[in-house]
Structure 1
Amino acid sequence: MLWKRMVLMSLVLFIFGCATSPLGRSQFAFLPAEQMDIMGEEAFLNLKQEMRLTKSASLSNYVTCVSGAIIDVSQSSIPHWEIAVFEEPTANAFALPGGKIGVHTGLFQVAKTPHQMATVIGHEIAHVLSNHGNERVSQQFAVEQGLALVQALANVQTETGQLLMGLLGVGAQLGILMPYSRVQESEADILGLHLMARAGFDPRESVALWQNMASSGGGDAPEFLSTHPSHQTRISELQNAIPYAMQLYEQAQRSGRRPNCRMS
């Protein structure tokens, strides 16, 4: 029967979809890494076709310098990372599976030093190293399969059935997807802080970066319904993590890691 097959599929996914993030958190991510890399490469290719790449060699070299210093200490198994700077006014950056990094030119308005830029780049690289893309896709698939299972078991045409589906939709969103996204963002903040410090960037400037973000971005959405931590929560978590990151930074300085990334 359909519902039995769906239950079996769900059990298989949960059994074989267990993974562990670099910070030791249990994850639900079952897609093959090779498939995620292909998806990332295709998405990045489409973005480069749809968005305007910067013509500034200075900006591109600067971002490549910061990114390269962090990648060098990341112990990443990705053989080749690709970095692109897009002419976009928003203060944003992203990273995709397969080692694709994109930075918007608007980010230079808030990331005012190499250390602050390293905060953002480290955060994005941390997303890739933590397999957050795989985790998000896997979670979405699990939610869709779970709701499909309920549809197969319940008569959704009845008033009670409609109410049940509505409650499950909200419950699925708040109970699985959104909280996990906040966890992923916080995880990328801390791992990114460790990465930038190991590369020789000053982790104390991560706080200044998010203070700049807060002052330039207007009001926050309520954190309970946000996929990102509020600026103040983010800053507090980073401040708590800075003492250990400073140890990594000082070790990097002693070993000669002093990135000289500048915009000429």
Structure 2
Amino acid sequence: MKFRILCALLIIFSLTACATSPMGRTQLVFMPDNEVDAMGLQAFSDLKQGKKISQDTKENQFVTCVTDAITREVGGTWEVVVFEDATLNAFALPGNKIGVHTGLVELVDNQDQLASVIGHEIGHVQARHSNERMSQKLGAQMGISLIAAVAAPTTPMGQTAVSLLGVGAQYGVIMPFSRLHESEADMIGVELMAKAGFNPAESVTLWQKMAQASQGAQPAEFLSTHPSHETRIDDLRAHLPKATALMQQARAAGKNPKCAK
């Protein structure tokens, strides 16, 4: 028995790999990125089949304009879909897929506030947070079964797999990113939006609006895996000098998005 456990541990450790996040943090990830991307593609396909997609031309143009400006900073081809959903949510999945809910579009006042959310969600993908979380939670030995599980999202295994991608709430299973991942995505996101020429100060305004919209419904920080609104706002304010300098450099280089809501 002990020998089998030792062998299993040796296999897992042999498959592990150290990576570094965009913020310089050491990560432990061992899921093949192509498998995680395949899961993201399958999950996004299921969402498009199961959720109503907005046909509002102006709404779609606004979201696409903001998203295009930010994704140019990270490269690759990204697909963005606006879903008819009143909740204040957006997400980005491995495989370069982005979903934005109409409720969030209605909440934001301008392009910069939407950019702060899009940048944050892309930050999760850039930092490989889904891969890191799968590596931590499921272990290498379950990797092969994950893609099949995502293809059947209503099964218990499928719900677990999809929730690890960051869209679990769509299937009634909520497994939010950790405080560390959320804070890291905030910092990556505010820098991404600034590099695209958006005003990073609006990220603070956005989270103030989110706090107001929650109307005190958010649990105390120590009971939640997410940073409190106050902590998030304080951290973003502390990062504004660097982000503002990046915005000024971007605008000097001619990057000045004009996305009309």
Shared fold, TM over 0.5 = yes
**Distance of aligned partners of 1:112 and 1:143 in 2 relative to their CA distance in 1, 3 Å threshold:** farther
Alignment of 1:117-136 (within 5 A): 117-136=114-133
Cα distance in 1 for partners of 2:209, 2:21 equals 29
Residue 182 of structure 2 corresponds to 185
User: 1:222: which partner in 2?
Assistant: 220
Write out per-residue CA displacement over residues 117-163 of structure 1, whole angstroms, 9 at most, x where no aligned residue.
00000001111111111111111114999xxxxxxxxxxxxxxxxxx
What TM-score does the superposition give when structure 1 sets the normalisation length?
0.81
Map 1:232-247 to 2 at 5 A.
232-247=230-245
Work out whether 1:23 is the aligned partner of 2:26: no
Separation in 2, partners of 1:183, 1:239: 17
The SS at the match of 1:19 is strand
Q: Does 1:86 align with 2:83?
A: yes
Q: What is the alpha-carbon distance in structure 1 between the residues aligned to residue 228 and residue 38 of structure 2?
A: 32
Cα drift, residue 180 of structure 1: 7.3
Matches of 2:37 and 2:140, distance apart in 1 = 23
1:115 and 2:112 aligned: yes
5+ residue gaps, structure 2? 143-174
Tell me the distance in 2 between the aligned counterparts of 1:233 and 1:94: 21
Distance 2:6 2:127 in 1: 33
Q: What is the Cα deviation at residue 113 of structure 1? A: 0.8
- Name whichever of 234-243 and 246-255 sits farther off: 246-255
Give me the whole-angstrom Cα distance separating, in 2, the residues matched to 1:180 and 1:84.
Answer: 22
CA distance in 2, matches of 1:179, 1:125: 15
User: How far is 1:28 from its partner?
Assistant: 1.2
Distance 1:12 1:226 in 2: 34
Mapping of residues 127-206 of structure 1, within 5 Å: 127-142=124-139, 181-206=178-203
DSSP-derived class of the 2:98 partner: strand
May I ask how many residue pairs the two structures share in their alignment? 226
Give the alignment partner of residue 204 of structure 2, picking from 184, 204, 207: 207
1:39 Cα offset (Å): 0.6
Q: Distance in 2 between matches of 1:140 and 1:57?
A: 40
Structure 1 or 2, whichever has the larger Rg, is 1
State which drifts further: 178-187 or 217-226: 178-187
Q: Post-superposition shift, 1:256?
A: 1.0
1:32 aligns with 2:27: no
Counterpart residue identity of residue 222, structure 2? F
SS at match of 2:233: helix
Q: Provide the C-alpha distance between the structure 2 equivalents of 1:218 and 1:32, rounded to a whole number of angstroms.
A: 41
Runs of 5+ consecutive residues of structure 1 not aligned to the other structure: 146-177
For residue 179 of structure 1, report the CA deviation from its aligned partner.
11
Distance in 2 (CA, whole Å) between partners of 1:216 and 1:6 is 48
Residue 5 of structure 1: CA displacement?
2.1
Corresponding residue number in structure 2 for 1:164: none
- 1:249 matched residue in structure 2: 247
TM-score, reference length from structure 2: 0.82
